[in-house]
Structure 1
Amino acid sequence: MFAVLKSGGKQYKVQAGDVLRVEKLNAAAGEKVQFNEILMVGSTLGTPLVDGACVQAEVIDQIKADKVVTYVKRRRKHSSQRTRGHRQQLTLLRVTDVLEKGADKSKVKPAVGARTKDDEIAAAKPAKAKKPAKKDAAADKPAADATEA
């Protein structure tokens, strides 16, 4: 039986025994993870997701993709050029089970994407408390004093 799952903004058609590379997940090598966003299982099509379905996989390793090199050159009177490279971080998985029902009963860790360094820094900083607004001295006086004069 096959399933179509969604992870990292992409869709993958998988079946038991497949090895696939997905966007980096927050899991170490050897751990089992479970994908709960299943779009299709066999002939069952979700609207948009199939209720109770899941795909369980074992993390093989955290890897990096091939380097993508970009080269930018400004022409004519500007003599600037720049070369930049990037290697995307990926997780290598082996699919172990495709379950049509019973996703909520299994005790497997859900597959969650890894957070970036910027997200971790923002989460570590405590939120600043707002200072209470100053009240006007005229507002503190009762209205009865103003009418007696």
Structure 2
Amino acid sequence: MFAVIKTGGKQYRVAANDVIKIDKLDGNAGDIVEFGQVLAFGEGESATFGAPFVEGATVTAEVLKQGRAATVIAFKKRRRQNSRRKRGQRQHETTVRIAEILTGGAKPSKKAVEAKAETAPAAVPLFTAPAGKGDDIEVIKGIGPVAAAQLKEQGITTFAQIAAFTDEDIARIDAAMPFSAEQIGDWREQAKELAK
């Protein structure tokens, strides 16, 4: 059985166990989310369509991970004006696995919700923080109090750590945190000077 759900201003045709990427939702990996805006469900000629939504129908899904989409470049040039502008945008997105399609006001299966909660992975920092007191990484241009707190949660506390980032490390941070690879690369160059 399939269903058509609406979330983030878009519509998705889904079935049980489908894995889809949607606009960012609040929640951590392993959380169960519900989509109450179901436009249609069923199979073949027995499909039910809403006006606009089907009353009493919901779709539940498990959050697999939070991430960001590929970079989209917006380039604008005004000819003969010596003017050009290049900007990048990475949309935040959530990857979910469809668990159940519920109709007639049915509630999510308690057993399924409990099983998902038990298997939810614990958040593991990207790096292991070195022993001792860390450096004041807010000295690096571009790292404010909020960014510093996020980096410390991932075990990044010293100039030496940032200076030693490999390109693979930068790619991991770029995928898991709201910082661009160019931004992290700039921090690495500044940290090399500060770590001397």
Normalised by the shorter chain, which TM-score bucket? 0.5 to 0.7
Structure 1's consecutive aligned runs of 4 or more residues displaced over 6 angstroms after TM superposition are none
- Structure 1 stretches lacking a partner, 5+ long: 109-149
Pairing 1:48–2:52 present: yes
Pairing 1:57–2:61 present: yes
Map 1:1-149 → 2, pairs under 5 A: 1-42=1-42, 43-76=47-80, 78-103=81-106, 105-106=107-108
Deviation at 1:101, TM superposition (A): 2.1
Deviation at 1:25, TM superposition (A): 0.3
Cα distance per residue 1:40-97 (max 9 Å; x no partner): 0110111111111010000000010010001111111x11111100000000000010
Q: Distance between the aligned counterparts of 1:56 and 1:50, measured in 2?
A: 15
Q: Distance between the aligned counterparts of 2:50 and 2:18, measured in 1?
A: 22
Q: Distance between the aligned counterparts of 1:73 and 1:44, measured in 2?
A: 49
Deviation at 1:102, TM superposition (A): 2.5
SS in structure 2 at match of 1:26: coil
SS in structure 2 at match of 1:13: strand
Aligned pair count reads: 106
Q: Give TM-score scaled by structure 1 length.
A: 0.68
Deviation at 1:31, TM superposition (A): 0.2
Structure holding more strand per residue? 1
Opposite residue 68 of structure 1, the aligned amino acid is V
SS in structure 1 at match of 2:86: strand
Q: Distance between the aligned counterparts of 1:5 and 1:60, measured in 2?
A: 18
Where does residue 125 of structure 1 map in the other structure?
none
Name which one, 1 or 2, has greater alpha-carbon Rg: 1
Where does residue 127 of structure 1 map in the other structure?
none
Identity of aligned residues (%): 50
Cα distance per residue 1:8-42 (max 9 Å; x no partner): 00000000010001100011111000100000011
Structure holding more helix per residue? 2
Q: Distance between the aligned counterparts of 1:101 and 1:65, measured in 2?
A: 35
Q: Give TM-score scaled by structure 2 length.
A: 0.52
